[in-house]
Structure 1
Amino acid sequence: MSEETNQLLTPQDCLVALMVAVSASDETIRTAELVKIQNAVNMLPVFAEYDADRTNMVSQMVYDFFEQEDGLDALFGVVRDVLPARLSETAYALACDVAAADGSLAETELRLLEEIRYELNIDRLHAAAIERGARARHMV
């Protein structure tokens, strides 16, 4: 993706992209995951000024990345360029919530969460707390 494209993306686009990536990582986008993404975009303060219509464009960008050989690396490159560090834990929390939304965690989702932790430089202790919170919120 070009530098010009990165400048067209917002930090909120990056949050959406990571949520979509986690949902699509197991090659099955479940309704519960889509609802979780939609609710986050509609309800959370970080998305207060966000145009929810951009979600489809961002989703397509993620699918396009996933079709490329080094697409995940490219996606993380965009996220690192656009997402401010202050939103790294928010991004990880949203990704964990999407992963937990359907009540099960596929191995591919767990690997992607691990990669997100690494790419966003999330402290392991903070990550564990975020993961525990997501698990608690999605307990049945």
Structure 2
Amino acid sequence: MPDHSFTPEDSLVAVMVGMSFSDETIRTEELLSIEQMVNYLPVFGAYDADRTRRVANVVFDLFEEEDGLDALFGLVTDGLPAHLYETAYALACDVAAADGKLAQAELRFLQELRDVFAIDRLHAAAIERGARARHMTV
């Protein structure tokens, strides 16, 4: 990724990694969730999973910069067709729910994603509720 442009799949991975790293702690449950989604979801059917590490490194580098989050969102929206915005938000919600905890930084990241993707609050609530339901424990 010499020019740091993202494919649609890269963009989805970047959103998931950004979600995981938003609280400055990447938990094992979150990494496993990302890996499972990349390996099994149809949207990643043609994706080279080896790119995941490179995308993650770009995200980590951007988080070190002052306006890195804005730059990340710019790369993501440039690489992601609008019809996949809710998919990206759903994947971020699944990563956030994977460890059973939501830190303030993660909630802020989700809020910014909603704004960047112009996801209606009602639709976002439905997506969030679905993620919560999928990650419940007995």
Q: How does 1:1-140 map to 2 (within 5 A)?
A: 4-6=3-5, 9-140=6-137
Structure 2, unmatched stretches of 5+, are none
User: Distance in 2 between the 1:19 and 1:82 partners?
Assistant: 14
User: Distance in 2 between the 1:88 and 1:125 partners?
Assistant: 15
User: Distance in 1 between the 2:56 and 2:101 partners?
Assistant: 22
Aligned amino acid, residue 103 of structure 1: G
Instruction: Report if the CA contact (8 A) 2:4-2:58 is conserved.
Output: no
User: Distance in 2 between the 1:28 and 1:124 partners?
Assistant: 27
Structure 1 residue 95, shift from structure 2 partner: 0.1
Aligned amino acid, residue 44 of structure 2: F
Q: Deviations over 1:26-78 (max 9, x none)?
A: 11100000000000000000000000000000000000000000000000111
User: Distance in 2 between the 1:21 and 1:78 partners?
Assistant: 12
Q: What TM-score comes out, normalization by structure 1 length?
A: 0.95
Instruction: Report if the CA contact (8 A) 2:16-2:95 is conserved.
Output: yes
Q: Deviations over 1:63-106 (max 9, x none)?
A: 00000000000001111111000100000000000000000000
Structure 1 residue 5, shift from structure 2 partner: 3.2
Q: Cα RMSD (Å) of the superposition?
A: 1.0
Aligned length: 136
Aligned amino acid, residue 59 of structure 1: A
Structure 1 residue 123, shift from structure 2 partner: 1.1
Of all paired residues, the percent bearing the same amino acid is: 68
User: Distance in 2 between the 1:82 and 1:60 partners?
Assistant: 17
Structure 1, unmatched stretches of 5+, are none
